[in-house]
Amino acid sequence: MLFKKIAIAAAVATTLAFVGCAKKTEEAPAAASEVATSEVAAASDAAVQAEAAASEATVAASEAIDAASEVAASEAK
């Protein structure tokens, strides 16, 4: 008998949970769209910053190669 009461309570709790989730899903698409838009903007900003950092790293590497070439040339003399 106790098992039957627990099973009924679990079924009621599960049903209430599904009803609660159904109400939340009606609001979810609009909220998800807003979140997705802000995430896309953040990802775009991050991509621009990454591109700028990569460009700076390329310039720094080029300068390092030039400096190493000058040192090697001066040591060869």
Q: Torsion over CA of 8, 11, 15 and 21, rounded to 10 degrees? A: 140
pLDDT digits (tens, 9 = 90+) for 30-49: 666 777 777 778 888 888 88
Q: Is the pLDDT of residue 25 over 60?
A: no
pLDDT band at residue 27, thresholds of 50, 70 and 90?
Answer: low
Residue 53: which H helix or E strand, with range? Answer: helix 2-76
Q: Is the pTM of this model over 0.75?
A: no
Which amino acid, one-letter code, is at 53? A
